[in-house]
Amino acid sequence: SEIFTPAHEENVRFIYEAWQCVERDLRSQMGSERGLVEEYVEKMPNPSLKAFKPVDLGDLKRRNTQDAKKS
């Protein structure tokens, strides 16, 4: 099993919370003509990232919390 340092967990938490804010802003601006948030889409995607699978940060956080309770 992997061992995560407190700094790693803090980084994951920061990214997760920041992304939740971005998603909330995107959802709230769906109906507006011009919002403050723009979604970036590359015109020429990197072929080496074709197999990239996004990480479910919520699931990762739950697993880490459960693992911490076990130890």
Q: Tens digits of per-residue pLDDT, 11-70?
A: 999 999 999 998 888 777 665 555 566 677 888 989 998 888 888 888 888 888 887 777
Global pTM exceeds 0.75: no
Cβ(8)–Cβ(56) below 8 Å:
no
Q: Phi first, then psi: give them for residue 29, nearest 5 degrees.
A: -105, 5
> What pLDDT, on a 0 to 100 scale, did the predictor assign at position 67?
75
Within its chain, how far is the Cα of 28 from the centroid? 18
- The confidence score (pLDDT) of residue 16 equals 95
The model's confidence at residue 3, banded by pLDDT at 50, 70 and 90, is confident
